[in-house]
Structure 1
């Protein structure tokens, strides 16, 4: 499920997982200075770091449901995703009983 909000910073505050250029990343940190994303692509570790200014300048593509974020060298496609756990699914089943 894609998380859509008015700004990328707001979307990041509520998402559980990111997709960066097709790679899924569960390990990301957003603080007052930057967004740091880390994931594995096969055996290679991938890292992205974006400043607050770069995140504020990001644009949202409504059709593709992706954010475009640029750093000094390239553009990246970022999707903010929400996840659920098996525990949450069990809780919902018990609520229905």
Structure 2
């Protein structure tokens, strides 16, 4: 089974585009959606950078296995895009499954 950029984007927590990290992005995979399918925003120093891509541009993106990145093009040229997954952790104060008294000493 071939992985597509659309599939990868659906589980991404953050993107890297042209070497800039962007956690502010929107993905709309419904073809009936009016507007861009992927909208990315990030700060580059003091400048707000924005990109937007259609479903057709996402579908045409080429995967680079060596760098695990995608080459995606818009009217301004080609861009290198990486989808990143974050680590989720439970931040609750609830007791875990192993009480401290039951932990064996080494």
Fold similarity call, TM over 0.5: yes
CA RMSD of aligned residues (A): 1.9
1:73 corresponds to 2:70 = no
Q: Which residue number corresponds to residue 15 of structure 1?
A: 12
Runs of at least 4 residues off by over 6 Å:
none
**1:96: how far off?**
7.1
Asked which structure has the greater RCO (Cα within 8 Å, sep 6+), the reply is 1
TM score, norm. by length of structure 1 = 0.82
Structure whose CA Rg is larger = 2
Task: Name structure 1 gaps, 5 residues minimum.
Answer: none
TM-score (normalised: structure 2): 0.76
User: Aligned partners of 2:98 and 2:3: how far apart in 1?
Assistant: 33
Distance 1:95 1:46 in 2: 45
Give the C-alpha shift of residue 73 in structure 1: 2.4
SS of aligned partner of 2:3: coil
1:56 maps to what in 2? 59
Task: Give 1:79 shift.
Answer: 0.2
Residue correspondences, number: 89
CA distance in 2, matches of 1:17, 1:66: 13
Query: After the TM superposition, which of the residue ranges 5-14 and 20-29 deviates more from structure 2?
Result: 5-14
